[in-house]
Amino acid sequence: MTTKEALYNFCLRLGDNNLILGQRLAEWCSNGPILEEDLAMTNMSLDNFGQAEYLYEYAAELEGKGNSADDLAFLRDEREYFNNLLVEQPNGDFAVTMMKEMLYSSFAVSLCEALSQSKDERLSGLAVRMTKEVKYHYRHSSEWLIRLGNGTDESRTRAQTALNELWMFTADLFTMNQTDKVLVKAGISVDMNDLLPVWRRSVEEVLKAAKFKVPQNCHMITGGIDGQHTEYLGHILCEMQYLQQAHPGAKW
């Protein structure tokens, strides 16, 4: 695998994480618990879509086959999506969505901060920009979890259940394949193992303040970065890609 191919795969992975998470958050549009939160979630969703677009544009250039960012988003199959399993999990109730957002955005903050030092200038530029957005996502979701954890019995139970159900997908965030090996060697990306303690600290800070218990000896499920997904991704793509698959090249 050449460095260019690896960087293409990596941009797709980051783009896919953003697109799928953004699509999940967009499902809250008009269904938020209060108007303010409805807007906050769709705002974050738009941040994700924006990041996905930049990353796909770069990927398309690296690929050099004349594909557009839209082609990459709408014409790839489930097995060609490299997002982490966490982001494709269903929204569940508000507690699940906020827990998922916090677990992912804390990872995104540590990754984007590390990628700001990337030897690839375009990627480091994007990373600087993305860091600002994901920091806010982390802050917003953390605040809610601390409230839910210190709120009523019901809010505490729901958020703890969310943590128990999502924890099994967290190891997947730090998995690596050939793509990472090539990019780490080239100084373009980082060893994910180095991010783990940083992530762990920022997650535990929130969970402690919210008085949640971190699940112990949890069986971890991985495979997202190699295109092995849970049952949910296919359904998301089915809905998201329907128009372009049924009417290729459709515009409005």
Partner 1 sequence: MKKESSQLPLWEVFIQSKSGNPYKHAGSVHASDEKMALQNARDIYTRRGEGRSIWVVLSNNIAASLPADEDEFFDPADDKVYRHPTFYKIPEGVKNI
Name the nearest CA neighbour of 44 among 28, 56, 60: 28
Q: Considering the complex, what minimum distance in angstroms separates the CB of residue 36 from partner 1?
A: 4
CB closer to partner 1, 20 vs 41: 41
Select the residue interacting with partner 1 from 2, 30, 35, 153 (CB under 8 A). Answer: 35
Q: What CA–CA distance (Å, rounded) separates 219 from 221? A: 7
Q: Segment contacting partner 1 (CB under 8 A): 17-25, 116-124, 140-148, 182-190?
A: 140-148
Give the span between the Cα atoms of 16 and 81, in whole angstroms.
Answer: 6
Residue selected from 24, 140, 158, 229 as contacting partner 1 according to rule CB under 8 A? 140
Based on the shown chain and the rule CB under 8 A, indicate whether residue 1 belongs to the binding site for partner 1: no
- Under the binding rule (CB under 8 A), the answer on residue 36 touching partner 1 is yes
In the block, which residue shows the tokens 């930049």? 54
Tell the smallest beta-carbon distance from residue 48 to partner 1 (Å).
15
Contact pick of 4, 147, 201, 235 for partner 1 (by CB under 8 A): 147
Shortest Å distance, C-beta 145 to partner 1: 13
- Selected binder of partner 1 within 53, 143, 165, 191 (CB under 8 A): 143
Identify which range of 21-29, 121-129, 135-143, 156-164 contacts partner 1 by CB under 8 A.
135-143
Q: Are 156 and 149 in contact (CB under 8 A)?
A: yes
Q: Does 100 bind partner 1 (CB under 8 A)?
A: no
How many other CB atoms are found less than 10 A from the CB of residue 102?
A: 28
- Rank residues 34 and 246 by Cβ distance to partner 1 and give the closer one: 34
The torsion region of residue 240 among left (phi > 0), alpha (psi -120 to 50) and beta comes to alpha
Regarding 40 and contact with partner 1 (CB under 8 A), the answer is: yes
**Could you list the residues that contact partner 1 (CB under 8 A)?**
34-37, 39-40, 43, 139-140, 143, 147
